[in-house]
Amino acid sequence: MATKKTKPSKDAAPKDITNKKVDSLAPHMEDSAGELMTTDHGVKINDDQNSLKAGNRGGTLLEDFIMREKITHFDHERIPERIVHARGSAAHGVFQVYESQAKFTKAKFLEDPKAKTPVFVRFSTVAGSRGSSDLARDVRGFAVKFYTEEGNFDLVGNNIPVFFIQDAMKFPDLVHAVKPEPHNEMPQAASAHDTFWDFISLMPESAHMVMWTMSDRALPRSYRMMEGFGVHTFRFVNDKDEAHFVKFHWKPLLGVHSVAWDEAQNISGKDPDFHRRDLWEAIESGEFPEYELGVQIVAEKDEHNFDFDLLDPTKLIPEEIVPVKRIGKLTLNRNPDNFFAETEQVAFHVGHIVPGIDFTNDPLLQGRLFSYTDTQLIRLGGPNFHEIPINRPVVPVHNNQRDGFMRQQINKGRVSYNPNSLGGGCPYQAKMSEGGFTSFAERIDAKKVRERSKSFFDHFSQATLFFNSQSEPEKNHIVDALSFELGKVETIAIRERMLGILAQIDTGLATQVAYNLGLHVPKKPEQPMNQSIPADGDPKDFQPVKVNPKLKKSPALSMANTIKDSIRTRRIAILAADGVNENSLLEMKDALIAEGATVHVIAPKLGTITGENDTQIAVDQSLLTVASVLYDAVYVPGGTNSVATMAAEPDAIHFLNEAFKHCKAIAADTEALQVIEATYFSRKLPPDFTSKSVLMEGIVIGDDLNKLSSQFIAAVSQHRFWEREKPRKVPA
């Protein structure tokens, strides 16, 4: 046997590996500027415009290897899209822990505050295909690949902390139900149809998740303004082999914000790439998205001290019971160089963990451990998907696995098995002290059964907690969403069954939805409610139970309580035309930009507009190509001719009416009152609104530009004024 080579000490490990992933991708990047065209095998091409023929009007010859290679490659350019999470957008970044978490985990990237770990993050919708809209009412994927010095760790989560089902056995059923119906392939990227609600109405364990997906969480303003969750309960394991349960959270530093449902539908028509474009442009402009990694840690001895089961993926741990400790920051600082090679080919896997992080017996998590590998084998063509540059770890790979489709690593030597003597026993197995991964030694003593723990049978208490924790506007949005979704369901029996489910969550909620549907809430829901029971089980033994938890409300569950102290990266429209008051426009624009906002001057046509003093002002967008739904707020500057033009411009008035309808901040110079008075919503305002500098519902009017800009900035930072929504509905 050969003598084992000495490895670098732990202290010699690099502190900054942020460039390692960039360096590993560099050999695979090509810039064709100034280069001659070649085939995939390096043969220089003399003519890429004409196929080889038998005479200029003759048949194409089979020997034309250049054409055959070109067309064959084109025919195979598309890989199968993901079954779920098909439509995505991604970015490179870096993660850095604030202080060592060695007390809880031996994962090195969570131990050293000096270490910078490169990451690749992919956001996505779930139900729709690659060509669907970013603004569908849907769960959003939030998957993070950490390229750590111990190998890749994939934290594969969503922007909602719970899931529809408790057992992975039901995942194919869930996805089949929510996807377009097989007989007509409709509807795309939507859950408002019979098959989805038929399934959900027979699976009361979905009740909690349904409340989240019917809430504003399913309509994020931006990927940069939504939370992320690991969903499952994982384990932290330290170097003493002590374990703690852990839930992972991502907290966006810009706060958690949404759009209105009507707005989302309009955005889907105006710019279906709204979220994708928003992420790309923010990074390109240097406004790097930032999130803090938070953890909820529970000692093993406290596993059963809750009124819910920690291993139930339809449950969360309320932050008021176990606070979220923020332990590090994720910064996205570089867009992909090639969408297909990186965003499309990246392969996440919940089973990619590193020493110090381990699994629990969450039955949904256990099934995902199989499913992800199986999916990547089909989608990426074989077992070597880990060799695609975006998926490669920053550490060397040494094992006895060989061959397969698209093998890129060239292994030297005659040995591909272990144990061996011909290869000197290499590669060696790593001891725990050398960083070798060992599964946590959890004691298991049980019979093989197809059952669920009775601790999983509470399906409604946390759904009720979520609904009770919402603000009044958020509750109204949930009612509207359920009314819309169930209103699309053609089978009345399914609607009635869902009303029975909703009545278990909140009778007022069920009553309001029933009224909108023209139905009555059933006195008793259909029995058995839970259809996901063993075929030979007694239905009475599997009925949902409702726990009466001590916690009645959780402020952390309401978006109304999010951060509202910044207008960084908010998109603000300034409506102006020739004859605008330059000071009124430029001073407001400068004040907004100074606070980090993105400001667009929008005029009836592109080019430039001329100010009152003949100043030429560049126009960023025209009213012909943009709409209020693409902006967070709107300002109308003064200037006699500009005001007259805008007051007579239907698109400008519609822009303002729509911004008001969607509860956005609106500001106007006092000189621009004529434009405000031309709107429909001006009739909804108090009679003396022109005499007030600030109106309570996010409308700011004044002639002191310093005061006006500071008040407008404060209003925009509040995101929306939802209280104006119900009593102030206006046509737009």
Task: Read off the pLDDT of residues 63-112 as tens digits, 9 standing for 90 and up.
Answer: 988 888 888 888 888 889 999 999 999 999 999 999 999 999 999 999 99
Residue type, 401: Q
Among 297-306, 364-373, 648-657, the minimum mean pLDDT is found in: 364-373
Model confidence pLDDT, tens digit, residues 584-620: 999 999 999 999 999 999 999 999 999 999 999 999 9
Q: Where are the domains of the chain?
A: 42-77, 88-190+222-302+316-391, 564-724
Exactly one of 46, 50, 73, 85 is catalytic; which is it?
85
Phi-psi region of 424 (alpha: psi -120 to 50; beta: other; left: phi over 0): left
pLDDT at 510: 98
Instruction: Find where tokens 């009553």 sit.
Output: 511
Rounded CA separation 150/117 (Å): 11
Instruction: For residue 298, give the 3-state DSSP assignment.
Output: strand
Query: How far is the CA of 426 from the CAs of 104, 617, 639, in angstroms?
Result: 33, 70, 79
Mean per-residue pLDDT, 404-429: 90
Between residues 7 and 25, the one the model is more confident about: 25
Q: How many helical (H) and strand (E) elements, i.e. helices and strands, does the chain have?
A: 17, 19
Question: What span, in angstroms and rounded, lies between the C-alpha atoms of 470 and 502?
Answer: 16
Once rounded to an integer, what is the mean pLDDT over residues 322-330? 98
Of all residues in the chain, the percent with pLDDT exceeding 70 is 95
pLDDT of 12: 45
Which band of pLDDT confidence, cut at 50, 70 and 90, is reported for residue 208? very high
pLDDT score, position 686: 74
Average pLDDT, the chain: 92
Q: Average pLDDT of 635-663?
A: 97
**pLDDT for res 641:** 98
Q: How far apart are CA 651 and CA 604, in angstroms?
A: 8
pLDDT at 639 (0 to 100): 97
User: What's the token pair of residue 351?
Assistant: 């089973």
Statement: residue 535 has pLDDT above 60 = no
> Over 70: is that where the pLDDT of 3 sits?
no
pLDDT average, residue stretch 125-137 = 96
What integer pLDDT is reported at residue 539 of this predicted model?
A: 65
pLDDT for the residue numbered 685 = 76
339 contacts: CB under 8 Å, gap ≥ 6: none
pLDDT at 26 over 60: yes
Exposure string for 194-229, b = 16+ CB within 10 A, e = fewer: ebbbbbbbbbbbbbbbbbbbbbbbbbbbbbbbbbbb
Instruction: Output the pLDDT for position 48.
Output: 85
> Are β-strands 616-618 and 290-299 bridged in parallel, bridged antiparallel, or unpaired?
unpaired
For residue 247, what is the enclosing H or E element? strand 243-252
Say if domain 88-190+222-302+316-391 classifies as CATH 1.10.10.410. Answer: no
- The predicted pLDDT at position 445 comes to 80
- Calculate what percentage of the chain has a pLDDT beyond 90: 73
E strand intervals along 40-102: 88-97
- Kindly report whether the peptide bond that precedes residue 427 is cis, defined as omega within 30 degrees of 0: yes
pLDDT, residue 683, reads 83
- Sorted by sequence, the CB contacts under 8 Å of residue 134 that are 6+ apart come out as 87, 125, 267, 268, 272, 273, 274, 275, 276
Q: What is the pLDDT of residue 2?
A: 41
pLDDT of 533: 67
11: pLDDT strictly greater than 80: no
User: One of 92, 152, 158, 349 is an active-site residue; which one?
Assistant: 158
- On the question of pLDDT at 347 being above 90, the answer is yes
pLDDT for res 4: 43
Per the annotation, the verdict on 516 as an active-site residue is: no
Residue 418 a catalytic site member: no
Question: For position 537, what pLDDT does the model report?
Answer: 63
Q: Where are the alpha helices (DSSP H) in 49-206?
A: 65-75, 171-178, 194-201
Q: State residue 730's pLDDT score.
A: 73
Q: Do domains 88-190+222-302+316-391 and 564-724 have the same CATH topology?
A: no
Residue with tokens 């409604």: 460
Nearest CA among 237, 280, 268 for reference residue 90: 280
Residue 726 has what pLDDT? 78
pLDDT score for 689: 66
pLDDT of residue 691: 55
- Confidence grade of residue 694 (pLDDT, cut at 50, 70, 90): low
Which token pair is 102? 């060695």
Tokens (6 digits) for 414: 């005659």
Which tens digits make up the pLDDT trace of 297-319?
999 999 999 999 999 999 999 99
Report how far residue 665's alpha carbon sits from residue 667's, in angstroms, rounded to the nearest whole number: 7
324-338, 469-483, 567-581, 678-692: which range is least confident on average? 678-692
More confident residue, 548 or 223: 223
- Could you tell me which CATH class the domain 564-724 is placed in? alpha beta
